[in-house]
Amino acid sequence: MIGPQDLWVALALGIFFFGSKKLPELSRSLGQALSQFRKGVSGTEPDRSDQPPAPRA
């Protein structure tokens, strides 16, 4: 199981290898990729919340 110490070590290594400016961009990209993967595995369509709903008649 991953504990708090493991997360701190991973964060320190990430800052060491990628720098503090690049790390948020990398984590955001990883999160988006993981989200896309989960949507693909579950077979659901991406949420279209950015488009307004169709007008009702």
Task: Give pLDDT tens digits for 3-31.
Answer: 999 989 998 998 888 888 887 888 899 89
Q: How does residue 53 score in pLDDT terms, banded at 50, 70 and 90?
A: confident
pLDDT at position 44 over 70 = no
The reported pTM is 0.47
Q: Are 27 and 15 in contact (CB under 8 A)?
A: no
pLDDT at site 41: 86
Classify residue 30 as exposed, middle or buried by CB count within 10 Å of its CB (0-12, 13-18, 19+): exposed
For the chain, the straight-line distance linking the first and the last C-alpha, in angstroms and rounded, comes to 54
